[in-house]
């Protein structure tokens, strides 16, 4: 079910009930940022729930998913192309044939304000029933108990309420997750913080054997021109086989150079190992004797807590990859051709020193792919929105200065896709853009999930 054109995300501003402005803004930014894992559209925001729904209705959409500042939509790690039940889909299904609102019920005519969904069409047909908010309490009172559905358990599992009004929770948000005593937190949040601590530890020693994002954005309108000159340079993160898919789609010559840049030294070493020693056949058999989960984290479902990757998962992902290439022989042929190209490996933190990644400007057509480096969990947790936007703008300025005609692929500071546009043109749009967290800069003809 594709419902993305029919709903809008809304943020209920509850900063007035939090102990200080800094904590309130932190929670607000995290809610916006986590929502962007699966949503690249406009977002509306207001402290009055009735006014919030009115703003959503002005968008001409059917549904509005509302989150209070401090609620996070939780995404699960999944391979590219895999379907996963979405929170919005679960809540729409829970509305049934009659309800106009679905949320976690506290009483017959009150719901928790953390996460709820409204069918705006039914809301208007019923005369726009009022929702009243008490700034001191985390719930909403409803003018009527009619037409209210309770959130299903599956939907509750797809979100986390940071509950920053609790003192222990507020203190946890001010600390590094690794320093938090999770026994002082409510169990769902304690589990989330512990998972976040593991993720942040794993980020800078992590390896993406396969890409989680699909290859759909490689050939977007305007980027690829028939009979165009092949790439002279490809600059890319050291993740999965998307670099090879880019070379397959855009062409290369014996003079093409591939520059891998990454903040994970292990990712660069892993890529070098593949290029130097692997023949392109039976990747699981090649990897299993060489994997070292004690030092390197492999981003897979079976390795969430640092375990050894499971053979079954490796086999399934390898089979799926070969489908994208038309079989084992087609993949191996392209792999062995491209591994003979010139390669450079650059360890760099794009958030801090992006200039290092590009080095000498290319003398011909080029493409730069950075995935979602500016909206990864590492970036979201350590940098405020303004800092991430500044870092991303600096990165685009570096590319535009050194290779203005380079094609761009990746995600912006709001985790929204960038593609089908060249560096100089995008830099011009970015410098004039003032959309903030509510209105992301449209930068791609293809919707992507990072």
* Consecutive H or E run containing 88: helix 87-95
Domain residue limits, the chain:
4-165, 172-199, 206-432
User: pLDDT value at position 3?
Assistant: 41
User: pLDDT value at position 425?
Assistant: 95
Lowest-confidence range among 321-330, 422-431, 440-449? 440-449
- pLDDT, one tens digit per residue, over 11-57 is 999 999 988 999 999 999 999 999 988 788 899 999 999 999 999 99
Q: Are 99 and 125 in contact (CB under 8 A)?
A: no
User: pLDDT value at position 2?
Assistant: 39
CATH class of 4-165: alpha beta
**How large a percentage of the chain has pLDDT more than 70?**
93
DSSP state of 65: E
The answer to whether residue 374 scores a pLDDT higher than 90 is yes
Q: Are 176 and 150 in contact (CB under 8 A)?
A: no
The answer to whether residue 82 scores a pLDDT higher than 80 is no
pTM above 0.85, yes or no: yes
User: pLDDT value at position 426?
Assistant: 95
- pLDDT, one tens digit per residue, over 199-227 is 898 988 999 999 888 787 786 444 555 55
User: pLDDT value at position 442?
Assistant: 76
Given pLDDT bands bounded at 50, 70 and 90, which one contains residue 389? Answer: very high
Q: Are 188 and 55 in contact (CB under 8 A)?
A: no
The answer to whether residue 248 scores a pLDDT higher than 80 is yes
**How large a percentage of the chain has pLDDT more than 90?**
69
User: pLDDT value at position 40?
Assistant: 83
User: pLDDT value at position 450?
Assistant: 53
Instruction: Look at the domain 206-432 and name its fold.
Output: Rossmann fold (3.40.50)
Higher-scoring residue by pLDDT: 233, 78 = 233
By 3-state DSSP, what share of the chain in percent is helix, strand and coil, each rounded to 5?
A: 40, 20, 40
Return the bridge partners of 142, or none: 131
Average pLDDT of span 399-423: 93
Higher-scoring residue by pLDDT: 435, 110 = 110
Q: Are 63 and 117 in contact (CB under 8 A)?
A: yes
**What is the rounded distance in angstroms from the CA atom of residue 149 to the CA atom of residue 272?**
54
């Amino acid at each position: 079910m594709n419902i993305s054109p029919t709903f809008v995300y809304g943020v209920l501003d509850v900063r007035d009930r939090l102990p200080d402005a800094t904590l309130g803004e932190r929670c607000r930014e995290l809610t916006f940022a986590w929502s962007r894992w699966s949503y690249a559209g406009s977002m509306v925001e207001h402290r009055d729930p009735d006014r919030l729904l009115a703003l959503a209705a002005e968008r001409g959409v059917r549904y509005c998913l509302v989150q209070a500042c401090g609620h996070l939509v939780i995404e699960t790690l999944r391979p590219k192309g895999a379907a996963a039940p979405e929170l919005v889909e679960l809540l729409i299904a829970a509305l049934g044939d009659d309800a106009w609102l679905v949320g976690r019920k506290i009483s017959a005519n009150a719901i928790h304000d953390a996460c709820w969904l409204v069918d705006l069409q039914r809301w208007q047909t019923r005369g726009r029933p009022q929702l009243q908010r008490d700034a001191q309490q985390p719930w909403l009172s409803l003018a009527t108990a009619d037409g209210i559905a309770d959130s299903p358990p599956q939907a509750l599992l797809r979100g986390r309420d940071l509950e920053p009004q609790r003192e222990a929770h507020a203190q946890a948000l001010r600390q590094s997750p690794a320093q938090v005593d999770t026994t002082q937190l409510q169990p769902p949040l304690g589990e989330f913080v512990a998972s976040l601590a593991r993720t942040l530890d794993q980020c800078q020693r992590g390896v993406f054997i396969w890409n989680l994002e699909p290859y759909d954005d490689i050939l977007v309108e305007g980027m690829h021109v028939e009979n165009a000159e092949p790439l002279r340079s490809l600059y890319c993160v050291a993740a999965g086989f998307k670099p090879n898919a880019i070379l397959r789609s855009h062409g290369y010559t014996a003079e093409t150079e591939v520059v891998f840049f990454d903040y994970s030294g292990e990712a660069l070493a892993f890529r070098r190992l593949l290029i130097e020693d692997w023949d392109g056949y039976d990747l699981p058999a090649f990897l299993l004797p060489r994997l070292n989960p004690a030092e390197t984290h492999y981003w897979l479902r079976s390795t969430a807590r640092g375990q050894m990757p499971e053979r079954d998962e490796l086999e399934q992902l390898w089979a799926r990859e070969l489908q994208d290439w038309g079989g084992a022989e087609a993949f191996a042929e392209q792999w062995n051709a491209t591994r003979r190209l010139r390669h450079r490996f650059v360890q760099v933190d794009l958030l801090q020193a992006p200039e290092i990644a590009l080095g000498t400007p290319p003398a011909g057509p080029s493409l730069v792919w950075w995935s979602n480096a500016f909206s990864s969990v590492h970036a979201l947790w350590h940098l405020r929105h303004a800092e991430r936007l500044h870092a991303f703008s600096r990165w685009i300025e570096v590319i535009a200065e050194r290779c203005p005609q380079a094609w761009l692929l990746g995600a912006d500071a709001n985790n929204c896709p960038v593609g089908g546009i060249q560096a100089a043109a995008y830099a011009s749009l970015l410098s004039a853009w003032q959309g903030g967290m509510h209105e992301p800069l449209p930068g791609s003809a293809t919707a992507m999930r990072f």
